[in-house]
Chains A and B, each alone.
Chain A
Amino acid sequence: KAGVTQTPRYLIKTRGQQVTLSCSPISGHRSVSWYQQTPGQGLQFLFEYFSETQRNKGNFPGRFSGRQFSNSRSEMNVSTLELGDSALYLCASSKRGQDGYTFGSGTRLTVV
C-alpha cells in the first residue's frame, strides 16, 4: 500500500514569504502529525490533526499553522518565513493516533 506522501520534496523560499506544505496520509489513517527536524534542535512536534480537528499543539509561534481536510489530507503553512525555518518538515500518520505513526520522507525547506 502507498505510504505517507509529502509534496513538494524540496522548496526554496525567500525570507518574508509564506509556504504551504502538503501531506497525504496512508489510506484509512485519520491522524496526521507534523514535525520539524533540524540538526540543532532535532525532531520537534508541531501539531496533530484528527478528523479535521487539531488535537495537539507544540511550542511553535503562530506563524506555523495547519489544517486537515475531510479526506484526511493535511497541509501546514508557515507565514513570514525566517532563515531559522530552514528544516526538514515531516508528516506522520496513524489510524487513530493510539498506535504507531508512519512518517513520510519529508519536505526540505530552505529559506534564503
Chain B
Amino acid sequence: QQQVKQSPQSLIVQKGGISIINCAYENTAFDYFPWYQQFPGKGPALLIAIRPDVSEKKEGRFTISFNKSAKQFSLHIMDSQPGDSATYFCAASSANAGGTSYGKLTFGQGTILTVHP
C-alpha cells in the first residue's frame, strides 16, 4: 500500500510547548521521509528529512524521530512559537525503477498546528 497516515488532524499548543505530529506508513520500500510546512497561499516548504539508517535527526527546534520496525516517524517542534502556526505534512518516497529519483512523494493528510501566544 502507498498510504501515509498522519495524526492528529489538528493540534493546539501553547507558546513554548512541544508540538508532536505522528505518521505511519505501510510500504517498506519507502526510504526517504521529509516533513513540509505550508502557510496559507504558499506551497509546502521542506523543513527536515530523514532516511531509515538513522533513528533521529535534529535541525534547530525541529526533530524527526524514526522507528523502522514500527514503520512510524514523528516530528517534534520544541519551544513552539506563534509563527510556527501552519499546516504540516509528512511524506514518504522510494527510488524509482532506475534508482535515480525520489520525486514521487506520498503525503499524509496534514496537521493544522495552532500555537497560542
Contacts and interface: CB of A to CB of B under 8 A. Distances in A.
Contact of A56 (B36, B46, B89, B104): B104
Contacts of A92: 43
Contact of A42 (B41, B46, B104, B110): B110
Contacts of B69: none
Interface stretch (A13-21, A43-51, A77-85): A43-51
B98 interface: yes
Interface residues of B, number: 24
B42 interface: yes
A26 B36 CA distance: 18
Interface residues of A, number: 26
Given A42-B107, A42-B110, A45-B106, A97 B44 contact: no
A50 B101 contact: yes
A92 B102 CA distance: 12
A103 B103 contact: no
Contact of B49 (A31, A35, A96, A100): A100
Given A100-B46, A101-B46, A102-B46, A56 B103 contact: yes
A86 to B, nearest CB: 17
Interface in A5-58: 31, 33, 35, 42-45, 48, 50, 55-56, 58
Interface of A: 4, 31, 33, 35, 42-45, 48, 50, 55-56, 58, 90, 92, 94, 96-98, 100-106
Q: Would you list the 4 A-B pairs with minimal beta carbon distance, nearest first? A: A103-B43, A48-B103, A97-B101, A43-B107
